[in-house]
């Protein structure tokens, strides 16, 4: 096994003049560098000088330190870190998909256009909405696209509305998106059951927070729309979502649904059927395409017929002669991504849909909910469950039962690393102090869930018997406890180890 | 932990009247401990006028982001620029180097402000 404390950066292994291949002797006159002095490269080496074997060993050693969805459960709440089926990769790498050029003549790539069209149709059926754009490159990109559609709709009506409502349980991207689109964000408080509060809420300090009804009454036509995640970040289904939609529609406002948690609904409930006007889907969550560093994301947006004229162009359409890119959309908000979005990701998502079929997608949803509820039942009592409402695909615990021993959520997360598991999302949602937000997804077997439960139970025991050990964790990881405070206070954003030679 | 010359809010800010119609505002020892290591403090422009209870700024720690509210109506005269380079002052010395804004108070002090026994009762009930 490895006997090295820290793998150096590949730049630190660089030796000037070292080459990884045997280049032939230069037998023509050396080209004269005619660039003006100020355009020439400085002493910084853009590429490290290392041999092939060093490159291979470097990345192989780094891969040993990695933890991904191919290693075990990856229970990040709201992230839906499910298995990426290999069939998706196989289909996406077919030469006709992988080697086609986005500038190809449309008649030469009818198959590609058909694939995009089919995925649009699947997503329309799954969301219960009338139209889809595949362009946005990830969730937040989809959110911004969706809010721009809402804005374009109001502008076309000649109305200027300034407010977007977001619940206090929202992902941070929701208020950030609304602000980026030029809206003022007004927060809607949560009721004790974790759902959006229709009534006003008085918090423990006596501070008064207007609920949805008051906000709609007082702000009225100032409200452009609301951004709501359903099920919300606590995993609780917003059971009054139709009433939320009706209240908004009553004042001419629209309902945006953050589809981050769509893994709890696919094949069971359609947002278009409960009043949603526009939403995004995370193909890299719900539709099993690689996530995070594993590949680009994709955040298609689905909307009602009312919003369709504003969709980013082009949109793939089918007419008598086959499939084509429709650019003739005068009211379009314009492009939100180069070419047609992340095409290879769309192919993976389509493969996921076709290989599962409608019944398979529904089965995956139900199993994701069963898995999360199995964890909830097994861990309740060992970890505190601050919100008692029924939950769907994820569950939020906190550290309230451990804090008397001086053990906090961060210690639990680090303890999981020592026990060979990736920690869940921690300290989010913000409305739950010390939150541990767990989403197992449908991919995990009972054996894997049981192993994860055993690790969390072991941590809870250690919190009582030896809390100091948890404060020191992780001790079995390649790196020990990070100094997150200094990292945030004095961030080093650029490697400065290079010294000109 | 809770100096007698300060006034406290239910949101864990303190107000230090300076006797000339101005006052310093920061967060309490209890608040800094609950937040954990503070890494960033966002404060308004001098000249901003706010009512009691309106949002004055935000404090970011390694764990969370939390709003700070105006303890009493007034105008922001000055913000503590040192906190940009030294957010740790909020943890290490909340009532001294960790002050956040200086206000010119307007009107009567907010009736919601608490004295030390009132504030200690509040945090006792919260930690329960």
- Give the integer Cα–Cα distance in Å for A57 and A60: 5
Question: Residue ranges of chain A with pLDDT lower than 50?
Answer: 1-2, 500-501
- At A208, list the tokens: 């008064």
DSSP element (H, E) containing A90: helix A86-92
CB–CB of A488 and B53 under 8 A? no
pLDDT at B90: 97
- Please tell me the distance from the alpha carbon of residue A367 to that of residue A392, in angstroms, as a whole number: 10
Are the C-beta atoms of residues B100 and B87 closer than 8 Å to each other?
A: no
Which residue spans of chain A are classified as CATH 3.90.1150.10? 358-486
Angle at A379 between CA A377 and CA A383, to 5 degrees: 130
Q: Give the model's pLDDT for residue A281.
A: 98
**CA A136/CA A146 separation, integer angstroms:** 10
In tens, the pLDDT along B54-101 reads: 999 999 998 788 899 999 999 999 999 999 999 999 999 999 999 999
Return the pLDDT at A116. Answer: 97
SS3 A400: coil
Distance from CA of A397 to the nearest CA of B (A): 16
The CATH 3.40.640.10 domain(s) of chain A lie at: 89-356
CB atoms inside a 10 Å sphere around CB B111: 7
Do B105 and B17 contact (CB within 8 A), yes or no? Answer: yes
pLDDT recorded at residue A498: 58
A-B Cβ pairs (cutoff 8 Å, strict)? 28
Nearest by CB to B10, from A205, A410, A488: name it.
Answer: A205
- The whole-number pLDDT of residue A294 equals 61
Mean pLDDT of B29-52: 94
**Predicted local confidence at residue A499, as pLDDT:** 55
Mutate to test the interface with B, among A207, A208, A433 (most CBs of B within 10 A): A207
Closest CA to A345 of A409, A405, A415, A289: A289
Interface test with A, best of B63, B65, B110 (most A CBs within 10 A): B63
DSSP conformation letters of B35-96? H-SEEEEE-PPTT-EE-TTSEEEEEEESS-EEEEE-SSSEEEEEE-THHHH-TTHHHH-TTT
Out of A205, A410, A489, closest to residue B11 by CB? A205
- CB < 8 Å to B64, chain A: 427, 430
Question: Domain-by-domain residue ranges, chain B?
Answer: 7-127
Q: Which CATH number fits domain A358-486: 3.90.1150.10, 2.30.30.40, 3.40.50.12280, 3.40.50.300?
A: 3.90.1150.10
Q: How far apart are CA B41 and CA B38, in angstroms?
A: 8
Shortest alpha-carbon distance between residue A441 and chain B (Å): 25
Fold of B7-127: OB fold (Dihydrolipoamide Acetyltransferase, E2P) (2.40.50)
Cβ–Cβ contact B40 with A under 8 A: yes
Q: How far is B23 from chain A (nearest CA, A)?
A: 22
pLDDT for residue A18: 87
Q: Is B56 in contact with B43 (CB distance < 8 Å)?
A: yes
Nearest to B88 among A410, A427, A489 (CB): A489
In this predicted structure, the answer to whether residue B34 has a pLDDT above a threshold of 60 is yes
In this predicted structure, what is the pLDDT of residue A501?
A: 45
DSSP secondary structure string for all residues of A344-385? HHHHHHHHHHHHHHHHHHHHHHHHHHHHHHHHHHHHBTTBB-
Across the interface, whether the CB atoms of A206 and B10 are under 8 A apart is answered: yes
Topology annotation, domain A89-356 = 3.40.640
Specify the pLDDT at position A2.
Answer: 45
Burial A445-484 (b: 16+ CB within 10 A, else e): eeeebebbbebbeebbebbeeebebbeebbeeeeeeeeee
């Amino acid at each position: 096994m490895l006997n090295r404390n820290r793998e150096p950066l590949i730049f630190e292994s660089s030796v000037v003049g070292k080459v990884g291949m045997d280049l032939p002797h230069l037998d023509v006159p050396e080209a004269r560098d005619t660039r003006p002095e100020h355009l020439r490269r400085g002493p910084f080496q853009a590429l490290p000088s290392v041999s092939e074997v060093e490159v291979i060993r470097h990345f192989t050693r780094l891969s040993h330190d990695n933890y991904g969805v191919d290693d075990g459960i990856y229970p990040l709440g709201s992230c839906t870190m499910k298995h990426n089926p290999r069939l998706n990769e196989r289909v996406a790498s077919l030469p006709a998909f992988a080697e086609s050029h986005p500038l190809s003549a449309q008649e030469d790539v009818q198959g590609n256009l058909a694939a995009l069209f089919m995925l649009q149709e699947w997503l329309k059926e799954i969301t219960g909405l009338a139209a889809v754009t595949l362009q946005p490159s990830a969730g937040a990109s989809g959110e911004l696209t969706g809010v721009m559609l809402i804005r374009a709709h109001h502008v076309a009506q000649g109305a200027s509305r300034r407010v977007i409502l977001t619940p206090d349980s929202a992902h941070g991207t929701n208020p950030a998106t609304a602000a980026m689109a030029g809206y003022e964000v007004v927060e809607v408080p949560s009721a004790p059951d974790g759902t959006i509060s229709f009534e006003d809420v008085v918090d423990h300090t006596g501070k008064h927070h207007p609920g949805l009804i008051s906000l709609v009454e007082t702000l009225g036509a100032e409200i452009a729309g609301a951004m709501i995640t359903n099920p919300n970040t606590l995993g609780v289904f917003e059971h009054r979502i139709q009433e939320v939609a009706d209240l908004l529609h009553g004042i001419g406002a629209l309902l945006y649904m953050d589809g981050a948690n769509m893994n709890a609904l696919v094949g069971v409930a359609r947002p278009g059927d409960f009043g949603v006007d526009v939403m995004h889907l995370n193909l890299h969550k719900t539709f099993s395409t690689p996530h995070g560093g594993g590949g680009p994301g994709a955040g298609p947006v689905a909307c009602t017929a009312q919003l369709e004229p504003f969709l980013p162009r082009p949109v793939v359409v089918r007419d008598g002669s086959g499939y084509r890119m429709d650019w003739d959309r005068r009211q379009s908000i314009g492009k939100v991504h180069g070419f047609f979005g992340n095409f290879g990701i769309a192919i993976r998502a389509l493969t996921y849909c076709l290989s599962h079929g409608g019944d398979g997608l529904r089965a995956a949803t139900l199993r994701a909910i069963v898995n999360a509820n199995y964890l909830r039942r097994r861990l309740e009592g060992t970890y505190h469950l601050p919100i008692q409402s029924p939950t769907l695909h994820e569950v939020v615990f906190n550290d309230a039962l451990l804090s008397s021993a001086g053990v906090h959520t961060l210690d639990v997360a680090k303890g999981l690393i020592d026990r060979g598991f990736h920690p869940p999302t921690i300290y989010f949602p913000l409305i739950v102090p010390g939150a541990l937000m767990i989403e197992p997804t449908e991919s995990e077997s009972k054996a894997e869930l049981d192993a994860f439960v055993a690790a969390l139970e072991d941590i809870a025991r250690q919190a009582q018997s030896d809390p100091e050990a948890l404060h020191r964790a992780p001790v079995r990881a390649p790196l020990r406890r990070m100094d997150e405070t200094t990292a945030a206070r004095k961030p080093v954003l650029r490697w400065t180890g290079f010294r000109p030679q | 932990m809770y100096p007698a010359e300060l006034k406290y809010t239910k949101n864990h800010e303190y107000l230090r009247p300076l006797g000339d119609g101005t006052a310093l505002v920061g967060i309490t020892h209890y608040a800094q401990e609950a937040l954990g290591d503070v890494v960033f403090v966002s404060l308004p422009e001098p000249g901003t006028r706010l009512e009691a209870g309106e949002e004055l700024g935000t404090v970011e720690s390694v764990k969370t982001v939390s709003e700070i509210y105006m303890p009493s109506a007034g105008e922001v005269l000055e913000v503590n620029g040192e906190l940009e380079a030294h957010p740790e002052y909020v943890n290490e010395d909340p009532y001294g180097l960790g002050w956040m804004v200086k206000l010119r108070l307007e009107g009567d002090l907010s009736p919601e402000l608490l004295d030390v026994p009132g504030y200690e009762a509040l945090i006792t009930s919260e930690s329960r």
